[in-house]
Structure 1
C-alpha cells in the first residue's frame, strides 16, 4: 500500500510535527532553510500558528538535495520524468512542507494551484460529452409546464431537452462525482490522522468496494419501472452520494468499536507491569481492573495462619465484585480520544448535510419561479443565514485551541473553505438569472459593503471583547485575529474559484455539446430560439437577459470583488499589521496536507453546483 496511507488508527495530531528538531519546553526549534544556511525559529506547537509565524520555506527540492538525476544527455528525459514524479508526490500524494511552501510562495503559482486548477478540473468533468437522444414526440417530460394558481412554472430551471444515456451517466459522470466525494472524505481523515478503512483490506480495495456499491445500487432502481421516476430527480442522486460519503464514517466508527477504542485502559498488563500492581496478587491482567482497585482486598481473618507459607486468601466474592465494578466503569467512561472522534464525525456529518440542504433550497427556488425582488432577497438571505449557522456550529465543534472538542486548526481551515465556497456557488448560480445590470449592481453593492465594513470591524478589539463577554469566543486576541485573517483569505479564494468556474461553465455549456443537458444556462438568444420552459422574468425588473450580459456583468462583478478584497487587506495591514496572504502561506507551509485537501474539497463543491442544475431524463 502506498506510503501516502501510513496513518495509524487513532494517532490523531493537532499541530505540525517536527520530530527532528529539539523540543524546548512548549516550543520546538524548527530549522528554516535559506539557500545554504539554516536558521532556527521558534513556533508554539500547541496551536501551530506557523513556522516562525509567517515565515516561508525555500528549498531546492522536496528533500533539500539536488536530485537532478541526469547522468548524461541520454538520461535527460528520464531525469525530467523522475523530477516530475517526485514533484507530484511531494506536492499532492505525500505533501512536504518545503515543497508546498515553495509552490505557493509566488502569487501566480498560488493563484493557479488554488483557483485555476480546481476550476479546470470541474469544467473538464462537466464538459465530458453525453450521449444524447431526441425526446419522443408524445413525451410531455413528466412535468407540468402550465402556470399554476400562483403563476409559477414547473420546473423553473427548464425541463429536459434531450434524453441521456443512463449507463454513461452512472459509470462516467456520476462515478467521477462520487470518486471525488470519497477522496474528499479520505483527505479530511488524513488531516485528522486516522485511517477509516480496515487495515486487513487496505485503502484501494475498500474504496473500490464502496465505489462499486455506489454504482450498483442505483441499477435496480432504474431497471424497475415503478421506481424509475426516482432516477430523474437530482435530489435523489445527491442523497445517495451523501449515503456513500457516510460509509467511511460508519466503517471508521465500527473499527474503533471493534478495537475497543471507546473503552479506557483496555490493554493487558505485561508480567513486569503486574509485579508493581495489585494484579500480581489477584491474577487480573486488565489495566482498568487493576486501577479500579483502591487497595488490595482484605484477606480472610479466619484463613490466617502464621506458620503457613506466604500466600494471600481472598474473600470469596472479592474478585467477582471487583470485576463487576470494573466492567461497570468500562461501560461508563469514554476516553478523550474517542470523544474527540465523535465530535469530528459530527462536524463532518453537518458539512455533508449542508450540500443536501443546498440542493433542496435550489429545487424549491427554481420550482417556484418567477419571484419578486423581495422574494428573491428572502430566499437568498435565508440560505446565507443557514450556511453561516452551520459554519458557526462546525467551527465551534472543531474549536481553535487544544482541548476544545476536536481542537484542530487545519480541520477548521478546510471546513471554513468548504462552507465559504458552498455559499459562493449558490450566489453564482443566481447570476445566471439576473436580467439587468441594475440587479448585478445591487447585489454587488451589498456584498462588497458587507466585506469592507464587517472585515475590519470583526478584527477590532471591542468586537472581540463583545464575543468573549457573550461566551461566543474564548480565544486570545492574537489568535482570534489570525482566524479573521484566515477567513478573509478563504472568502477571497472562494469568490475567485467560484466565479472562474461559473464563467467557464457558461462558455463551455453555451458553445459545447452539453448545452441541452443544462437548460438552466440556456439563453433566449439561443439559435434554437427561446426556451419556452424558462420563466420570462424570474426576479423582477429587466428583460435584457442574454449571454453577453451574463458574461460581462459577471466579470465586472468579479473585478469589484477583487478590489473589495484588496481594500480589506490594506485596512487590516495598516490597522493591525495583519498580513492576510502571509498568514495563508504560513498555514499551507506548516500543514502541507491543506493544499491537496483544499483542492479536492473545492472540486467537490464546484461539482455540486453543476450537478444540481443538470436535467436528468434517461433514454
Structure 2
C-alpha cells in the first residue's frame, strides 16, 4: 500500500527512479499500463438490444436502403443508457479529473476549496457530470442529442474545465490578484515608495492605514531654500499616480497563463474530434487526400503545441516557467496527434497508403531531428527571435521531445492494435462498427479488412521502433547524449511526472476510442 502511494499518489524520487531505471518496468508503466486500461475499458460488454427496423426512420443511419454508411460506422444495436452513463462514461470522466488534478499537483496548487476538501469536491463534480446529461435522455424532444459523440465529449470538456474555474474563483475571492496577502509593518513600509510619496498602500490593513502627508520632492534638493520645504497633501495626488499603485502579483499572472494553456489543451481535444468526424464522414479518400489530412492534422497539433509550449516555457522567469508542465503538455499533444493518426489506419485501403505515411514519418524523424538539434539551427532560431534559450537548454528540449515521441508512438500503437483485436472479435463489435470490417454497403473495391489493418499497422510499428533506434543512435553518435538517460533523469528529478504521464496517456487513448463508439440508446 505504501509503495502504491509513493508511486501514484505522492510520488517519491527513489521509488520512481527505481521503476523507470530498467527498460521492461519503464515500458510496463508508461506504455503497457495505460494501453491495457484503455483496451479493457472499451472491452467491457455493453447490454445490447436489437435496433427497431423502420425504413422511414431517419434516426437509424445505415438501415435505409441506398443510404451510404458514414466512415465511422452506423449504429447496429441499441445500448443501455444507464450502463453507458454509470460505467462507461463515468470512468471516462474520472480519468479526465485525475489528469487535471495531477497537472495542478505539478503546478503546486490545490484546485479544490480547502473547507470542503478533495473527496467532497470531486464527488460533487462526479455527481454533476452524471446528473446533468439525464434531461437529454429523459426528455424525448432532446434525446436526439445523445447519439452524437461530440455532445458527450463537449460535456467532458466542461467537467475538465470546472477545476480550472474553481481554482480561479478561489484566487479571486482570496484577493490574490490585488496585491500582497499579508500586511507590511510600519518598519517594512520605510523601504517602500508609499512611505515617501504618501500613497495609500493596499498591502496595509485598513486599521493601520494613516493618511500621511507626502514629503515635498524639493526636500531632496541640496540647493533648495529650507524655508520652502514642506509636505504635500496626499489627498490631492493625481489620479494617474494612484492607478500606478495597482498591480497584479506575478503569481496571479502566472496562474492566468497556466489556465490559458489548459484551455488550449482542452480545445485541441474538441478540435480533434471534429477533425476526425469530418474525415470519416467523407470517406473514401485517395492517397493524396489521406496525406493532406494527416499532415493537416499534424500542422494543427504542432501549432497548438507550440503556442502552449511558449506559454508554459521551460525556465524560471518565463510566463509559467515550468519544465515538468511543458513536459506533460508535450506528451498530451504528441499523443493527440498519434491517436487520431492510428484511428486513420483502420480506413486505409491500400498497403501503399501505409507505406507513404511511414516513409514520410520515419524520414522526418531520422533526418530532420538531428538537424534541428544542431548549433546552426539554434543560432538561426535565436536570430529570428523564436528561441531565447542557451544551446544546452535547447538541446535538452529537443532530446526530451524525442523521448516523448517514443512514448506516444508505442502507447498509441499498442492501444490501437489491442482495441482492433478486442473490438473486432469481442462482445462490443456492434457497438464499435468502425472495427467490424464486414463491408456492409461499401463496394467490394472499397473494403477495409481486419487482416490489412492489423498486419500493416504491426509492420508500421516495427518500422517506428527501428526508426527510433536509428535516431537515438545518431543523437548519441553526433551529440554524445543518450535519449533514454535524459528521459529517465526527468522522472528522477520530477517524480510527479510518472502518474501524470500515465493519466494523460490513458485519457487521450480513451478519447480515440470514445470518438468511434456508436450510441443509440434504448
Equivalent in the alignment of 1:210: 125
Give 1:298 shift: 5.6
Could you say which residue in structure 2 is the equivalent of 1:433? 347
> Residue 91 of structure 1: CA displacement?
0.8
State the Cα distance separating 1:329 from its structure 2 match.
Answer: 4.2
- Is 1:406 aligned with 2:323? no
1:470 equivalent among 358, 376, 384: 384
Please identify, of 423-432 and 256-265, the stretch whose mean Cα deviation from structure 2 is larger.
256-265
Cα 1:166–1:144, aligned 2, differ >3 Å: closer, same or farther?
A: closer
Partner of residue 420 from structure 2, selected from 506, 518, 528? 506
Kept in 2, the 8 Å contact 1:269–1:286? The answer is no
Instruction: Provide the C-alpha distance between the structure 2 equivalents of 1:296 and 1:472, rounded to a whole number of angstroms.
Output: 49
Using the alignment, how far apart are the partners of 1:564 and 1:535 within structure 2?
36
For residues 8-38 of structure 1, what are the alpha-carbon distances to aligned partners after superposition, in whole Å with 9 as ceiling and x for unaligned?
xxxxxxxxxxxxxxxxxxxxxxxxxxxxxxx
TM-score, with normalisation over the residues of structure 1?
Answer: 0.77
Q: Does 1:598 align with 2:512?
A: no
- The residue that corresponds to 1:564 in the other structure is 467
Task: Give 2:89's aligned residue.
Answer: 174
The separation in 2 between residues aligned to 1:535 and 1:227, in whole angstroms, is 35
Q: 2:13 matched to 1:97?
A: yes
Matches within 5 A, 1:93-492: 93-138=9-54, 140=57, 142=59, 145=62, 153-270=68-185, 286-287=202-203, 296-297=213-214, 318=233, 320=235, 328-329=243-244, 332-492=246-406
Q: In the superposition, relative to structure 1, how do residues 371 and 157 fare at CA in structure 2: closer, same or farther (>3 Å)?
A: same
Cα RMSD of the aligned pairs, angstroms, is: 2.9
Larger fraction in helix: 2
How many Å separate the matches in 2 of 1:347 and 1:255?
19
Check the 8 A contact 2:20/2:488 in 1, yes or no. Answer: yes
In 1, the alpha carbon distance for the partners of 2:315 and 2:10 equals 26
What CA distance in whole angstroms lies between the structure 2 residues aligned with 1:584 and 1:198?
Answer: 35
C-alpha distance 147-288 of structure 1, shift in aligned 2 (>3 A): farther
Answer yes or no: is 1:554 the counterpart of 2:457.
yes
Task: Give the drift of 1:381.
Answer: 1.4
**Corresponding residue of 2:227:** none
1:130-157 deviation digits (Å, cap 9, x = unpaired): 1110001226462555999xx9935221
Structure 2 gap segments, 5+ residues each: 217-229
Q: Please state whether the residue corresponding to 1:517 is helix, strand or coil.
A: coil
TM-score between both structures, scaled by the size of structure 2: 0.90
Asked whether the 8 Å contact 1:440–1:553 carries over to 2, the reply is yes
| Structure-2 separation of matches of 1:266 and 1:442 | 59
- Taking the aligned partners of 2:201 and 2:330, their CA distance within structure 1 comes to 46
CA distance in 2, matches of 1:152, 1:410: 50
- The structure-2 alpha-carbon separation of the partners of 1:294 and 1:595, relative to structure 1 and needing over 3 Å to count, comes to farther
**Contact kept in structure 1, 2:73 and 2:433, CA below 8 Å:** yes
The structure showing larger relative contact order (alpha-carbon pairs under 8 Å, at least 6 residues apart) is 2
Give, in whole Å, the separation in 2 of the partners of 1:448 and 1:283: 63
Mapped to 1, the partners of 2:41 and 2:351 lie a distance apart of 31
Aligned residues: 506
CA distance in 2, matches of 1:537, 1:361: 26
Three-state SS of the structure 2 residue aligned to 1:617 is coil
Distance in 2, matches of 1:570 and 1:221, equals: 55
Q: Whole-Å Cα distance in 1 between the matches of residues 184 and 496 of structure 2?
A: 37
Q: Deviations over 1:517-550 (max 9, x none)?
A: 00000112xxxxx323x56566xxxx5x322222
User: Contact 1:452/1:564 (CA < 8 Å) preserved in 2?
Assistant: yes
Give, in whole Å, the separation in 1 of the partners of 2:391 and 2:210: 46
- The C-alpha deviation readout for 1:556-588, integer Å capped at 9, x for no partner, is 110110000000000000100111000000000
For the residues of structure 1 that align with 2:67 and 2:110, how far apart are their CA atoms? 49
Aligned counterpart, 1:33: none
The aligned counterpart of 1:613 is 516
Q: Deviations over 1:366-394 (max 9, x none)?
A: 11112222222222211111001001110
Residues 195 and 252 in structure 1, CA contact (< 8 A), matched pair in contact too: yes
- When residues 469 and 238 of structure 1 are mapped into structure 2, their CA distance, relative to the original with a 3 A threshold, is same
- Asked whether the 8 Å contact 1:90–1:99 carries over to 2, the reply is yes
Q: What residue ranges of structure 1 are gaps of 5+ in the alignment?
A: 1-84, 300-312, 525-529
Preserved contact between residue 221 and residue 228 of structure 1 (Cα < 8 Å): yes
How far apart are residue 414 of structure 1 and its match? 0.3
